[in-house]
Structure 1
Amino acid sequence: MDDDAIRDLFAGLGPVTIRRMFGGKGIYHQGIVFALLVGGEILLKADAQTAPAFKAAGSRQWVPAGHRGRGPVVMPYWSIPDHAIDDPDEMTLWARRAFKAGLRSRKK
């Protein structure tokens, strides 16, 4: 997914900044990372408040293989719910949840 497509996907949230990271891209709004592009897939940030909603919507949590023999690592990022991909209003709701999770994690 190119940067213009990412900006279009999150247009309802507002302007986003995209930076290379983790062999993929970090997606920021107001300086807060709220999404990643990894392996061609967009993943949204979640936390204890929002992860249950992602799970209920059928999203998958990102669990990359560990390195140096440590095994898999559970990350606080989830796939976008299928029904949100083609619905800009739904996508905006999920993006806002991810952004709020990013804000909460920054305050810790």
Structure 2
Amino acid sequence: MMFHVTSSRNRASIEKYGLDWRRMGAAPGIAGSPVPEQEGCFLAPDEWTADYFVAMNNTGGPVDVWAVDEVDPADLLTSGEGYDYFPGIIPPTRLRLVRADIPPAEN
């Protein structure tokens, strides 16, 4: 199992379409980018790494953490910044919301 962290504003789209980088637009990415940084979905290999992305939250609002099933680590690519992503769409049947509406960290 892997994890994906995203704005809570994306929840309805994820529940309907899964993780699809082409549908980005309801909220900026975790790093604050208004457009996809890669043609794929960033995944964290464990909860510790997911928490790192939760703390990074630059979405301007709360985030959700999704568990992602059936991902072969060999299918992941690594971005220039060193983060792993799946170069495709992950259907909603392989996703489970595990943490919802985590508020941004206070600075």
Q: TM-score range by the shorter chain?
A: 0.3 to 0.5
Structure with the greater alpha carbon radius of gyration = 1
Higher relative contact order (CA 8 A, sep 6+): 2
Structure with greater helix percent: 1
TM-score (norm 2): 0.32
TM-score (norm 1): 0.32
